[in-house]
Structure 1
Amino acid sequence: MPNNLDNDETKKEFNFFIALIPLVVMVVSMLYAIVVIETDPHLPLIIGTITAAIVALLSGFKFDDLEEMMYKGIRLALPAVIIIMLVGLIIGSWIGGGVVASMVYYGLMIINPQYFLLTICLICSIVSLAIGSSWSTMATIGVAGMGIGVSMGINPAMIAGAVISGSYFGDKMSPLSDTTNLASGLTNTDLFVHIKHMMYTTIPGLLIALVAYFFIGINVIGSNTASSADIQEMLTTMDENFVISPWLLLVPALVILCIIMKVKAVPALVIGVFLGIICSIFVQGESLANSTSFLMNGFVMESGNDMVNNLFNRGGLMEMMYTISMTIVAMTFAGVLEYTGMLKSIMNQILKIAKGTVGIITATIVSCFATNATCSEQYISIVVPSRMFLRTYIENKLHSKNLSRSLEDGGTLTSVFIPWNTCGVFIYGTLGVSAFEYAPYAVLNFSVPIIAIILAATGIGITRITSKERDAYLAEHYPEEVEAKPATA
């Protein structure tokens, strides 16, 4: 059997129901583990991987090939693993350097608790639109937002949902975003045509989210926030344990500026780590030994205030090991499903039932979500469905920008709802809230796919091509299949 796992010839045609077996076993195991015995999701993913490997072996694959598929799946997640590690370092150094404390301190003084969710969503939207990265936004503004909101007594799941909604709005709409460029590139759609077309679903989604956060703030948060005395006690405790200064706010500002100036995420975050260490030593007066310990083991303090302790006793590389291990385990499962062809068999079956505009767009969104769940990686949820659906869109005289938008509506945004997806584990490691908890409050992320299906049903925001344009595209990309067919008018 060939070793080139990127070649479709290495994949087999699996029966749909056989291809579903590993996924069903994994999902059932996951539900039992999470809901019944309340344990971690690692073992269900391992059980799913073993099941997929057994099915593949019985179908004629060799173990050496399966092993390489697992390694290839893990390699796909290595960029995410590096960023997750850096986020652990940056949280530890920024807490130790007083950067997070300063952001929380001034945030508590300025922001009204009732409008906090609305405010933090808007701030994350603006920052992520400027830098094109939801992960970088959550690792900087999101961490501070969690600290401020929790200090106010707001439900952490609500805060995380608002942060995620804002962060993914910018990630989806920014020309600097990797997923935005990926979706447009894979579908041969101009980048800015793609972004403009996404406004039909994403702008209404953001407005719905902002209205939801406004009413949650007015009707829920207002009566449940910490009292003025509690907040004042927290401010006093932070003042006693950290050097609080507005100059420390320059650290996250410089990191965001670096990304705006197109510095890659990894070097930008490394700069943030070093700035945090400098602040820890020269502003907070910590020793070099303590400052490096914050990077490895996180920040540890005993202030006498439980809320402050819970807020700042975190960060460091070791805290991210849980997240990293789950990412690696999930990607072994994804590697077997993708490179054996099981995922392709599942997708082909979905493609068969996609009829008409509504069916095709709904099938695309469902396929993207299914890929997020099975392959545990946001990028794969864009790449695989783009390959599967592009020809179907063109044959049905749907412009490619309808597909590029659907890939983002169904792939980019729904990745946060899968606890074992790289996005889900990153959010858990960064914001400290699980997907099951924040899902009801990530309003933009679940409303946009619904809006997309509604638009498909009504025909609003759907762009079509002519028969001549369709035939020209098919003649260019599939000449051997259409050379005998005359072009239609």
Structure 2
Amino acid sequence: MKREIKARWTILTFFVMITSMAVAVAVLGTSPHVPLVIGTVTAAIVAIAHGFKWLEVEEMMYKGIKLALPAVVIIMLVGFTIGAWVGGGVVATMIFYGLKLISPAWFLVTILLLCAIVALAIGSSWSTMATVGVAGMGIGLSMGIPAPMIAGAVISGAYFGDKMSPLSDTTNLASGLTGTQLFDHIRHMLYTTIPGLIISLIVFGILGRKFADVNMNSESILTTLRVLQETFYISPWLLIVPVAVIFMVAKKIPAIPALLAGIVMGFLLQITVQGGSTKFALETLQSGFVLESGNELVDKLFNQGGLDGMMGTVSMTIIAMTFGGILEYSGMLKSLIQVIMKWAKSTGSLVASTITACIFTNATCSEQYISIVVPSRMFVKAYRDRGLHSKNLSRALEDGGTLTSVFFPWNTCGVFIFATLGVSAFEYAPYAILNFVVPIISIIYAYVGFAIVKLTPEELEEAKQKELEEEKALEPSAL
């Protein structure tokens, strides 16, 4: 007989996973795959001990994996994209002109704003990081700027644009699940996200001054430029490829067809413009671009991409979602969020509890979308009962769910960033300034009562009526 799983068992499961993760990753320096398996096994044992059958637990894991399948497809396509764009000379062209035009002192600010604009236009932080972000890493490293710092600027910009874009899937998800008008939701997020952006720009402006003395005519940069020109055909015309992909996504063409178009264009450029053989171009798509220029920095920048390079990311995503699936569908996560809800005695504590639940879901279920879906279901009635407009909840979901997903190496977002930018969550976390500043601002606002919108008496009555209709719809029909 199935029994409700108490919160203490969820905490125990999470403790086992985090402890094994800390030992494996932080102490032994190995990958997070095995600790995630240990967490999944622990969750399965707890579920079975509470009356679930193995076949039910297995189904939970499959349902968790199913949630991540869209992300898995994108991850594989990004591997193809990076390989095709490196092989086609697109990335080399972006790095070449970036080194020519961008001042080291303002590079971090520039790349943050550029990623923000692109992500705002296309609604995808992942696509932004896989294109502009990859090129930005190359430019910044060539200038001698530390990789975690560059990654932090890229992530801050990409997630600002993603969060504020009407084309973003998470933005539409948060507004849709809470019954908030999309543009009401976006306007309400301006209160927390714009201050977060300003703080990020100030911090990166200060950090960038450390590199003001970088000599753009230094031997290392001149050598990088020379090797790029010797290895690739460089032309502004090659930038048509990323511009075309960004344009397609901005025109609401789905990400997968847009990425496929970019892959085909990069593949053809490698054969026709860069002079590579068809065999080498196909090998680049499969196993990544291979360059032996003799320049260590250039080789490090360009020996990347390909489907094979993303398989570690894909496997970690699948394992993470088996863990998350058991927590979600066995009710373990729900029991813990119910405990958190007991602390929500005021508007401030309610918003803080919502953001905490989103962060916890990101950490345990390893998927950004679940961190929005589960807390939205748990908290929507609490906001309504307190007379708070649904856009307060939708903003808290994005501030706590969308933005904090990058801080967990086993979350699909953390896994993707490591595979794409080559920097782990532990390294870039202090520099992902927007991502940790905005949730703090959101909680402060809630406690002081700033930018918290209450329902009017008419809206409150309408909300109650809607709740009654929803409850009535769930009742069995009379015979």
User: What band does the TM-score fall into relative to the shorter chain?
Assistant: over 0.9
Please tell me the residue identity of whatever aligns with 1:138.
Answer: M
Question: Does structure 2 conserve the Cα–Cα contact (< 8 Å) formed by 1:377 and 1:421?
Answer: yes
Question: Does structure 2 conserve the Cα–Cα contact (< 8 Å) formed by 1:153 and 1:225?
Answer: no
CA deviation profile, 1:402-444 (whole Å, cap 9, x unmatched) = 0000000000000011111111111111111111111000110
Q: What is the aligned length?
A: 472
TM-fit CA distance, 1:223: 5.0
Query: Is 1:280 paired with 2:270?
Result: yes
Query: Is 1:400 paired with 2:387?
Result: no
Secondary structure of 2:52 counterpart: coil
Secondary structure of 2:51 counterpart: coil
Residue in 2 that maps onto 1:32: 23
CA distance in 1, matches of 2:74, 2:459: 42
Map 1:34-433 to 2 at 5 A: 34-218=25-209, 220-223=210-213, 228-433=218-423
CA distance in 1, matches of 2:254, 2:8: 43
CA distance in 2, matches of 1:225, 1:255: 34
Per the normalisation by structure 1, the TM-score is: 0.94
CA distance in 2, matches of 1:227, 1:408: 43
Question: Does structure 2 conserve the Cα–Cα contact (< 8 Å) formed by 1:12 and 1:340?
Answer: no
CA distance in 2, matches of 1:139, 1:481: 44
Q: Which runs of 5+ in 1 are unaligned?
A: 2-10, 483-489
TM-fit CA distance, 1:12: 5.2
TM-fit CA distance, 1:16: 1.4
Residue in 1 that maps onto 2:425: 435
Residue in 1 that maps onto 2:477: none
Identity percentage of aligned residues: 61
CA deviation profile, 1:124-156 (whole Å, cap 9, x unmatched) = 111111111111111111111111111111111
TM-fit CA distance, 1:222: 3.1
CA deviation profile, 1:218-258 (whole Å, cap 9, x unmatched) = 1x333567762211111001111111111101110111011
CA distance in 2, matches of 1:287, 1:476: 63
Question: Does structure 2 conserve the Cα–Cα contact (< 8 Å) formed by 1:154 and 1:224?
Answer: no
TM-fit CA distance, 1:480: 9.3
Please tell me the residue identity of whatever aligns with 2:200.
Answer: A
Per the normalisation by structure 2, the TM-score is: 0.96
2:435 counterpart (441, 445, 468) = 445
Residue in 2 that maps onto 1:464: 454
Question: Does structure 2 conserve the Cα–Cα contact (< 8 Å) formed by 1:91 and 1:316?
Answer: yes
Distance 1:225 1:184, change over 3 A: farther
Q: Which runs of 5+ in 2 are unaligned?
A: 473-479
CA distance in 2, matches of 1:137, 1:238: 23
Question: Does structure 2 conserve the Cα–Cα contact (< 8 Å) formed by 1:153 and 1:226?
Answer: no
CA distance in 1, matches of 2:342, 2:99: 54
Question: Does structure 1 conserve the Cα–Cα contact (< 8 Å) formed by 2:4 and 2:50?
Answer: no
Question: Does structure 2 conserve the Cα–Cα contact (< 8 Å) formed by 1:323 and 1:429?
Answer: yes
Question: Does structure 1 conserve the Cα–Cα contact (< 8 Å) formed by 2:104 and 2:214?
Answer: no
TM-fit CA distance, 1:470: 2.7
Secondary structure of 1:478 counterpart: helix
CA distance in 2, matches of 1:50, 1:225: 54
TM-fit CA distance, 1:475: 3.2
Secondary structure of 1:354 counterpart: coil
Residue in 2 that maps onto 1:485: none
Secondary structure of 1:253 counterpart: helix
Cα RMSD between the aligned structures?
Answer: 1.5
Secondary structure of 2:289 counterpart: coil
Please tell me the residue identity of whatever aligns with 1:194.
Answer: H
Secondary structure of 2:136 counterpart: helix
Residue in 2 that maps onto 1:6: none
Secondary structure of 2:427 counterpart: helix
TM-fit CA distance, 1:467: 4.8
CA distance in 2, matches of 1:442, 1:299: 29
CA distance in 2, matches of 1:345, 1:13: 8
